[in-house]
Structure 1
Amino acid sequence: MPRLSLDELLLELTAEEDLLFVQDLDGVCMPLVRDPLTRRLQPQTIRAAARLGDCFRVLTNGEHGGRRGVNRLVEQALQPEVDPAQAGLYLPGLAAGGVQLQTRHGVLSHPGVSEAELEFLQSVPLRMRDRLAPLLEQTLPHSTRAEREQLLDRIVLDNAVSPTTNINLVVKQLQGDLPRIQQLQEQCLELLLELLHQAERAGLSNSFFLHLAPNLGLEGNRERLRPACADRSGTTDFQFMLQGAVKEAGLLVLINEHVRRRTGSAPLGDEFNVRSAPRDLDALTALCVERIPAELMPTLTGVGDTITSEPTPDGRGWQRGGSDRGFLTLVQQLGNAYGRPNRVMLVDSSGGELERPSHRDPHLRGLTDPEDPLQLNVLVPGGPAAYCDWFEQLSRQRNV
């Protein structure tokens, strides 16, 4: 299928009566940065999301709440003039891969998550710091203890349900020293694997998994690390996440909630959440087809920026991954299953502070490949700035 232009997609979505527009955040509506505390959201983007109303939902691996969450960015953009909770200007939808649900008034819930799991998660940032401290001393031998403590404050993300080690700032200091960067990546992976073992010893053996961003797809049930190379940093985010907290399962939660809003009844059940959802794309598609009649299924548009594709070491296949790949592929599969013109948009996030494959490459190397089953309907080579301009147009057109 030929790709659509942004103008063509705008016409399509303006005319669509029952639309569910599902969007990632980092790299889509704000540039990627090494330090999440420096992120910024534009007020006009926040207001555009509000204008779209119930047809718009976010789906992110970041979090809504906390000092590193997106709610703080909304507050910074709008206050002191506007209280986003009262005005209903928080971004509604799912965070932490699907376990943190938020209304537009900022009411948070964690469907399917136990108190024991939340308690263990609360301890993870300190556990990360304890293990990372000697690693930083080894990796940056000329740094002072005070400098390393300050760095730890920036790279250990104390998210409530997805604590993360983000090594972008350390990678920057290593100045392209690939052996040391690759060694650090392996050490961070080992660190999180040890945290999994600690959870198992605490009786939470099936509660958590490791999300690596970006990654090279799955190896068994575990995401494959993307080593640093000459033109990109590889895996820089090591997230300790709740089992089942993957965006593709989150997409079904959003669809279920969307149908409930329109009809008063949730076809997948009132208690359906990512923890109880099937784990693979075919099973998720089959569940939808079985439980949601065609007349109730909305037309979907999925927007992301993080997909990867690299040749296998033997050159006979492809290693495909990326935190948006699963949910974008499910958007496509559901379109095929229901005969709907579902659309997949990919925003070029290579213009931020992180090294990413660029849309300037006509073959989109590093993102997709000639045999990729994921078909990208719309590209946004202008990055988050161009996407936000288009997004505002969409919100105004649907409200004419």
Structure 2
Amino acid sequence: MFRMDLAQLQEELLASSDLLIVQDLDGVCMPLVKDPLTRRMPADYVRAAATLKGRFQVLTNGEHEGRRGVNRLVEAALGDTETAAREGLYLPGLAAGGVQLQDCYGHLTHPGVSDAEMTFLANVPTRMQGLLAERLPSVMPELGNEAIAAEIERAILDTQVSPTINLNSLFSLIPNDVARQRQLQVMLQELMDQLMAMAAAEGLANSFFLHVAPNLGRDQEGVERLKPAEAGDVGSTDIQFMLRGAIKEVGLLVLINRHIADRTGTAPLGDDFNVRTAPHDHGALLALCHEHIAQDQMPHLVGVGDTVTSTPCPSGDGWLRGGSDRGFLTLLQELGESYGHCNRVVLVDSSAGEVDRPSLLDGSLEGISDPNDSLRFDVCIPEGPERYVNWFIALAEAHHGPEPSA
């Protein structure tokens, strides 16, 4: 597996005439934490992202807006709620896996999402609360009513278009009890399946899907596989109730399409191209690009993520590969190969945060990759988000080229 170091990557990117960095957020530019409300983002990072305007977009399963949104982190970093909108310092790009689009001034849209879907999503956190209140006491009988209520409040992330149940706080109460951690995971899967059934009963059977993080890829029906807890690796910590189509590899094409439109004035995939109407498999996405995007229009892509998994199949035959960043990093790599571009894949080690994750430190990539994995990492950052942020800030400071023309 070929490796570059960060200095070599910076040199290459500074020489690029049409660069687009597509970056995940949690675990990449800030450490993973059990409670998203405790996240912090450095002000220097926020300003560095703005310096790279036209060359940088985020692609996250989190959300831009709301009390848990990344916009609140940007405002906290800058010290007020007005500077970001005035100076264009919000992080541009796609959130909620691809259905929440934002520019650097905080203008937000949800392309392709219906009013009925938004109404159902608005009620999901309340339904999550009721279902957890029914089921959690039997899994955690040692908790009293007050403690159960507090854990439910911590577990439900009441975001606008991707409401989530996160088990990190509950896992921390039983850190070495793998059997009970797995019980919690099964409970969570069953509860989220109930929500999917509720959506179907209201005529929205094809509107949503469940994003498991981290996961072991998808089964034959396209359903994401839960990653069971093991000693030293808690496995799947949360499940997001997401709009169908909100997967990062499709979001990557939305960002590419918009990037080309900003540079040339024409969107090769159409002005209204969005994740709700796009194909979902890699082959179709690649074919769509080659049908509509010329080689000299395709930007030099760099993908930055932290959540990639690979685990031996229980049957002993092959590997289960997943992780919320695997899809878009793989597609980005395939686009580079098929267009003859030196696209780069950067993996940041998020194992030193508050959530158990496989580490890059020993160089084995165990739990992350495998000998037959087609996804290759050009740059690995075992030191984690702090090292990546410092490099990112240095890249922005060294980048003196003119902004891409609109």
Query: TM-score, normalised to structure 1's length?
Result: 0.98
Task: Report how far residue 191 of structure 1 moved.
Answer: 0.6
Aligned to 2:267: 266
Question: Contact conserved, 2:63 with 2:70, CA < 8 A, in 1?
Answer: yes
Q: Secondary structure at the match of 2:321?
A: strand
Contact 2:139 2:183 in 1 (8 A): no
175-184 or 156-165, which moves further after superposition?
175-184
Give the whole-Å Cα distance in 2 for the aligned partners of 1:136 and 1:44: 41
Secondary structure of the structure 2 residue equivalent to 1:285 = helix
Aligned to 1:43: 43
Deviation string, structure 1 residues 8-33 (Cα, Å, up to 9, x no partner): 00000011010010000000000000
Over residues 53-96 of structure 1, what are the superposed CA-to-partner deviations in whole Å (9 max), with x where a residue is unaligned?
01100000000000111001111111238621111110000000
Q: CA deviation at 1:292?
A: 0.4
Tell me which residue corresponds to 2:198.
198
* Partners of 2:59 and 2:238 in 1: CA distance: 17
- For structure 2, the residue ranges without an aligned partner over 5 or more in a row are 402-406
Aligned 1:1-400 pairs, distance under 5 A: 2-80=2-80, 83-220=83-220, 221-399=222-400
Question: Letter of the aligned partner of 1:64 in structure 2?
Answer: H
Q: What 5-or-longer segments of structure 1 have no aligned partner?
A: none
What displacement does 1:181 show?
1.0
**Contact persistence 1:51–1:399 (CA under 8 A):** no
My pick for the range that moved more, 227-236 or 174-183, is: 174-183
Secondary structure of the 1:135 match is helix
Specify the SS of the correspondent of 1:17: coil
Match of 2:404 in 1: none
How many residues in Structure 1 have an aligned counterpart in Structure 2? 400
For 2:359 and 2:175, how far apart are their aligned partners in 1?
21
Deviation at 1:175, TM superposition (A): 2.7
In structure 2, distance between residues paired with 1:259 and 1:170: 44
Asked if 1 retains the 8 angstrom alpha-carbon contact of 2:64 and 2:95, the reply is yes
Which one-letter code corresponds to 2:18 in the other structure? D
Mapped contact 2:228–2:235 kept (Cα < 8 A)? yes
**In 2: Cα distance, 1:230 partner to 1:151 partner:** 23
Residues in 2 aligned to 1:306 and 1:83: alpha-carbon distance in whole angstroms:
32
Q: Runs in 1 of length 4+ with deviation above 4 angstroms?
A: none
SS of the residue corresponding to residue 161 of structure 2 reads coil
CA contact (8 A) 1:30 1:40 kept: yes
Structure-1 separation of matches of 2:159 and 2:81: 27
Compute the displacement of 1:361 (Å): 2.4
> SS of 1:195's equivalent?
helix
* 1: CA distance, partners of 2:143 / 2:196: 30
TM-score, structure 2 normalization: 0.97
> Cα offset for 1:139?
2.5
Mapped contact 1:117–1:204 kept (Cα < 8 A): yes
d(CA) in 2 for partners of 1:21, 1:215: 24
Q: How much is the aligned-residue C-alpha RMSD, in angstroms?
A: 1.0
Contact 1:102–1:109, Cα closer than 8 Å, also in 2: yes
One-letter amino acid of the counterpart of residue 251, structure 2 = G
Deviations 1:293-330 (A, max 9, x none): 11111010000000000011122200000000000001
1:134, distance to aligned residue in structure 2 (A): 2.6
What is the percentage of aligned positions where both structures have the same residue?
A: 56
**Residue 200 of structure 1: how far off its partner (Å):** 0.6
- Secondary structure of the residue aligned to 1:240 is strand
Code of the residue aligned with 2:349 in structure 1: it is D
SS at structure 2 position matched to 1:65 = coil
Q: Is the partner of 2:53 in helix, strand or coil? A: helix
Aligned partner letter, 1:40 = R
